[in-house]
Amino acid sequence: MNFRLQPVQVAARSDDQEGQLVFADGFLAAVLVQLSEQHGENWGKWFLEAGFGRAYDYRAPIFADLGEAQAWIKARLTGTGEGTS
């Protein structure tokens, strides 16, 4: 599976503005937002703002870094490993 990230500014309800569009094999799979310092211990981590298809998760997980987020999305899209339901 080929992943491509595209930086984007997100109009969120908080100070969280730095985001990444996540494309998997050319399809938009998810929108990730980096959490601002107002989130305390989660500052700098990445939040699943939106997931599409199998990458959707109502629990909106938080990831330590973009690599962890991509691994989770890949597992969801392929139906393997952690992060699948």
Total domains, the chain? 1
Whole-angstrom distance, CA of residue 74 vs CA of residue 55: 8
- Is 85 part of any domain? no
Is 85 a residue whose pLDDT tops 70? no
Handedness of CA 36, 63, 51, 70 (dihedral sign): positive
Q: Which domain does 43 fall in, by range?
A: 8-78
Q: What is the pLDDT of residues 1-43, one digit of tens each?
A: 899 999 999 887 667 689 999 999 999 999 999 998 888 899 9
Residue 2 lies in a domain: no
The 3-state DSSP class for residue 23 equals strand
Q: Does 63 reside within a domain?
A: yes
User: Is 60 exceeded by the pLDDT of residue 84?
Assistant: no
Q: Please report whether residue 60 resides in a domain.
A: yes
